[in-house]
Structures are given as C-alpha cells and as structure tokens.
Structure 1
Amino acid sequence: MASDKQTVTRLDSNYMQQYDAYIERQRRKKKRLIRRLVLFSLIAVIAIGTMATYHFKQRVLHAEKTEEYQALQKELTSLEKQEANLQEEVELLNDEDYVLQIARTNYFFSKEGELIFKLPDEKPSY
C-alpha cells in the first residue's frame, strides 16, 4: 500500500461489462430520484407557502370584519336606544296636555287670566 500505482488489472470480461452497465443504471436511477425529490419538495414548499399566505390574509380579514361587526353592533344598540326615545317622544307629543305644558314652559303661553313671571336663573348676589 505504499505505492500509489494500481497493481490490479481490470479484466475486460462480459461480467464486468454487465456490472459496469448495472452501476451506471443505478447511478442514473439515483440521479432521477434526486431530481424528482427536489421537484416534489419545491412544489410542496410553494403549495405550503401559498396556503400559509392565504391563511394569514384570511385571519387578518376575519379580524377586521370582527372589529367592524362589533363597531356596527355598538352603533346598532345606540340607534335602537335613540329610536326608542324618539318613539316615546312621538307618543308624548300625541298627548295634548304634554304639548300644552311644553308650550307654556318654552314659549310662555298662558291660560286665560294667567300671568307669567320669568325669574332669572342666576343666584342672587346677596
């Protein structure tokens, strides 16, 4: 083993030719297998990346829609309260006594023979 020179001569027999062809086929099979695995891996990475991107976009969209829904729910609640107040006011305005009371307090209408005195809202200084 001290010398680098090959001392074994290769036989050029039919068996050796078949063996070499077998080794070459195995090498090509391995090369094709690696190519297929790389292609499959590339397709899998692209598919997973696309799905992950789509998933995160959907999560962001869902969060925005949820926030918008909650804001609209709050607005709906306040509008329903406002509607109830306005319905109550409409019912009160249909009452003649209530309308007369508003006219007397806001517009100083009086009954026959009644005098109205407007007092200042300020507290006296003494």
Structure 2
Amino acid sequence: MVKRQKRQFNNVRALENDYVRSTETHAKYSKKQKVRIRRRLLVFGLLASVILVLLVSTTISQNKRLAEKQELKEDVVTKLDEVKEQQDMLSLQIAKLEDDEYIAKLARKEYFLSDNGEIIFTIPDEEEKDEKSDKNSN
C-alpha cells in the first residue's frame, strides 16, 4: 500500500495557467524581498553596532584624558600655591633687607661683626660638643 501512495503523488501534475504562474511569481518576488530586507537589516545592524562601539570608545578615551588633565591641573595649582607662598616670603625678606637696622643685626649674627663697645662670645654647637666628647673618650 505504501508503494501505491507514492505513485499517486508522482502522478500529480501542477496546473499550467496564468493564475498559478502569477502566484508563483508573486511568491518568488516576496521571498526575494524578504531576503533583501534581512540583508538590509543585517547591514544596518552591523553599521549601527560599529558606530555605537566607536562612540563608546571615544567617550571612554575622553573621560580618561579628562581625568589626566584634572590631575595635572591639581598638581599645577599646588605648585602655584607653593610659588605664591615663596614669593610672599621673598617679598617680606626684601622689605626687611631694605631696613638698615635689620641688615646690621644680620651682619652681627652671621659674620660676627660687633657694634662699638660689644664683645662677641662664640658658643660651640651641640654637634661640636658631641664630636669632641667622642674624640676624648677614644
């Protein structure tokens, strides 16, 4: 019986008329359009994903650069504050050096100069005392 059924299917013939041909043509056309749409969607998806990856990578690299610049700015601001403090200190020292009394006091202290009627006594530093006591014990 199985063989008999096979024969029946082989004997069936498709109709050859305008309606069947137009339906087959329409089916082929719609199948081709579906394939085209899928290809377009695939290309569009790939293009969109590439653009998205580029945008994300650009954002990440810009954030990294921004963090580096912010760190550099903080370092420069710290150095600027130090330089301003040093400038203030030097301005104060310049103002002091313009005073004759300060210069005289500085000369007496640093170069052991004396004023009229003054006697200068030098007291050894503690390091010198320690060195002398070490030499005496040996």
Please report the TM-score for the alignment, with normalisation by the length of structure 1: 0.90
Please report the TM-score for the alignment, with normalisation by the length of structure 2: 0.82
Q: How many residues align?
A: 124
Structure 1 segment 3-18 matched on structure 2, within 5 A:
3-4=5-6, 6=9, 8-18=12-22
- Structure 1 unaligned blocks of 5 or more: none
Match for residue 90 of structure 1 among 84, 89, 94? 94
Q: State the 1:121 CA deviation.
A: 2.6
Q: Distance in 2 between matches of 1:34 and 1:28?
A: 10
Deviating above 6 A after TM superposition, structure 1's stretches of 4 or more consecutive aligned residues are none
Letter in 2 for 1:120: P
Query: Higher mean Cα deviation, 7-16 or 47-56?
Result: 7-16
Match for residue 84 of structure 2 among 73, 80, 86? 80
Q: State the 1:86 CA deviation.
A: 0.6
Other-structure match for 2:121? 117
Other-structure match for 1:59? 63
- Structure 2 unaligned blocks of 5 or more: 134-138
Letter in 1 for 2:45: S
SS in 2 for 1:118: coil
Other-structure match for 2:136? none
The Cα RMSD (Å) is 1.7
Q: State the 1:45 CA deviation.
A: 1.0
Other-structure match for 1:38? 42
